[in-house]
Structure 1
Amino acid sequence: MKALIFKQYGKADQLTFADLPRPTPKPDEILVQVHAAGLNPIDNMIPKGTFKPILRFQLPATLGSDLAGVVVEVGNLVTRFKPGDEIFASIFDMGTGALAEFAVIPETAAALKPPNLDFVQAASLPMVALTSWQALKERARLKPGQKVFIPAGAGGIGTFAIQLAKYLGAKVGTTTSSGNVDLVRSLGADEVIDYSKQQFETVLRDYDAVLGTIRGDAIEKSLGILKRGSTVVSLVGPPDAAFARARGMNFFMVFLFGMLSRKIIRGAGKRGAEYSFLFVHPDGNQLSQIGEILKAGDIRPVIDKVFPLAQAREALAYLAKGRAKGKVVVRIR
């Protein structure tokens, strides 16, 4: 089978296509013929070695975290799926990749594809959907009437998180460029800050939660818009000691991450807020719940551009520019 792989950590231009043996599912896995793979910023960071201390890959490794496709074989312990089922899944942090013609997936990571979505639409969703769900519903425990700040509203995470927050009954503030104001408003954003004209920290007030999606000092600035008892969930760091312990890291890494997050945790504490770092984990049950929301049409995929598998490297380069409105997807079949 054809797959996009990296053989060593370094520059992203070392990515190459390879012909690999078709994988064989373990007893608790399903083998899926991949129809489409959704791209995420971390797919560009992994080959560079950015997450080498955290994510384990056996090199050479196949890239990609999100996929949608058709089940062609199931392990003898699998009970939820059968050959012919159309599924979507995130296989992030599982040591395997989605940018291939076939992929093996633990049964627990997959969910039936919503029938109203095609494979490209479904493949665009797993990581951003699970990240938004775990951040807003589990960590922030967002309630109807509360206010959540989701910066970069036109990006992959933003376009889904805004819609999920609105589904949960919250009010949403976001930032975007002038050209994307109408897009984020159409997704449900209530307060939209054009970052070329205003600084969000001078406009927004009394927010209950912040979803950290932008590197730099944006998270520290966002502390000023919070009310007491609020929550900051960061997707971009700094990672905290709780994350290191949850990953089973050694004492040194727990200490290091504790020091890295010390300043932001103290700053949040002074505002009566709680800070945590979120590293998304695949969850087929959560994805099934999200699938029901998608099936009902309460949330829609936002896709910027679709590339064929032969142009997967160009798709990753396009994503790396940071200008995509919504998601970038690779069509494989």
Structure 2
Amino acid sequence: MKAFAIEAYNQDPKFIDQTKPQINDEEVFIEIHAASINPLDSKIRKGELKALLEYDMPLVLGNDFSGTVVEKGKNVTKFNIGDEVYGKPRSEKMGTFTEYIALNEAEIALKPTNLSFEEAAGIPLVGLTSYQVFNDILNLNKDDKILIHAGSGGVGTFAIQLAKAMGAYVATTSSDGIDLAKSMGADQVINYKTENFDDIIQDFDAVLDTIGGDTLEKSFKSVKKGGDIISIAGPPNEAFAEKMGFGFVKRKIFSTISRKVTNLEKEYGVDYMFYFMEHNGKQLETLTKLLEEGTVKSVIDRVYPFEEAEDALNYSETGKAKGKIILKMK
């Protein structure tokens, strides 16, 4: 089968031929119809996450998908052959830029009936990221104020919708995607090219940072004492290392890396956490209900045929996408 992979970190990916995987008794064998491209794919390709995740080469890229079950193990109870599904593989099983994949049934859910395969493929990673940050970590409540950076991006477009569905007041940053961010329900949109968000947003309950760097550091000014900053862009910190069960050496390495944000935590009285989302089929089922009800929707920027995966990845790395970039396999 054809797959889009890297053979070494920081090298350009290319198409390779792979043997179709065999399933075990708890797995389903899925023909992939569509997959989405995420900034995470570029970070993995460049080796930026080697401290967190080590992979064997060649490594097939891709972290979410939609497709059809074509075979199932004897212990699989939730799915049947012919079911249309979508999901986010666990980190060690990543590799959705391919024609087929074998996954545990806990990693997938039935595809929303009102979504195309392309629309569904754009949901799992950004949807689970948003849901886990808001529900599991922040316990976002009605009338909480949250700043979501990059409101017209893949995570941003979904996160705004979900936060609004949970009753929060949502501010976001954007430039060319201001109208899109507003259409997602954002209460306040700051044009980061002409305005300093940290001068405008003050005493918010939380920030979801999707950018890192200076944007993350300035965000500490926007959160009230006792508030929270969750970043999916980094840097990882010691608290994250402890959550992941890493040993003392790696925890101290992450502590050193995040020293600047640790100092900002102390200065502003704000709690910071780096977050790396987890696969969760049950939570995907919750998102499916929201999607089928029309509470949230999938936002797609462009769909590329699988053969143009390199162009799609290059476009993703420009940072100009409004919504999700999709690869269509079938």
User: TM-score category by the smaller chain?
Assistant: over 0.9
Give the structure 2 partner of residue 4 of structure 1.
4
TM-score by length of 2: 0.97
C-alpha deviation, 1:153, in angstroms: 0.4
Amino acid paired to 2:323: G
Contact persistence 2:300–2:322 (CA under 8 A)? yes
Residues 109-138 of structure 1 deviation map (CA, whole Å, 9 limit, x = unaligned): 101101000100000111000111111111
Q: 1:317 aligns with which of 314, 319, 325?
A: 314
Contact persistence 1:66–1:92 (CA under 8 A)? no
Give the structure 1 partner of residue 186 of structure 2.
189
Distance 1:242 1:223 in 2: 18
Are 1:327 and 2:324 matched, yes or no? yes
Give the structure 2 partner of residue 289 of structure 1.
286
- Displaced runs of 4 or more, over 3 A: none
Contact persistence 2:90–2:107 (CA under 8 A)? no
Are 1:248 and 2:245 matched, yes or no? yes
Amino acid paired to 1:322: G
Contact persistence 1:309–1:332 (CA under 8 A)? yes
Amino acid paired to 1:245: E
Are 1:143 and 2:146 matched, yes or no? no
Unaligned runs of 5+ in 2: none
Contact persistence 1:34–1:70 (CA under 8 A)? yes
Contact persistence 1:234–1:277 (CA under 8 A)? yes
Amino acid paired to 2:214: D
> Secondary structure, in 3 states, of the residue corresponding to 2:29?
strand
Amino-acid identity (%) = 41
Distance 1:139 1:77 in 2: 33
C-alpha deviation, 1:263, in angstroms: 3.1
Give the structure 2 partner of residue 278 of structure 1.
275
C-alpha deviation, 1:22, in angstroms: 1.4
Unaligned runs of 5+ in 1: none
Give the structure 1 partner of residue 153 of structure 2.
155
C-alpha deviation, 1:170, in angstroms: 0.2
Distance 1:82 1:56, change over 3 A: farther
Distance 1:124 1:263, change over 3 A: same
Distance 1:196 1:255 in 2: 37
Distance 1:322 1:211 in 2: 18
Distance 1:92 1:77 in 2: 19
> Secondary structure, in 3 states, of the residue corresponding to 1:46?
helix
Residues 259-300 of structure 1 deviation map (CA, whole Å, 9 limit, x = unaligned): 222332342244332111101111111111111111100001
Are 1:89 and 2:87 matched, yes or no? yes
> Secondary structure, in 3 states, of the residue corresponding to 2:180?
helix
Are 1:120 and 2:131 matched, yes or no? no
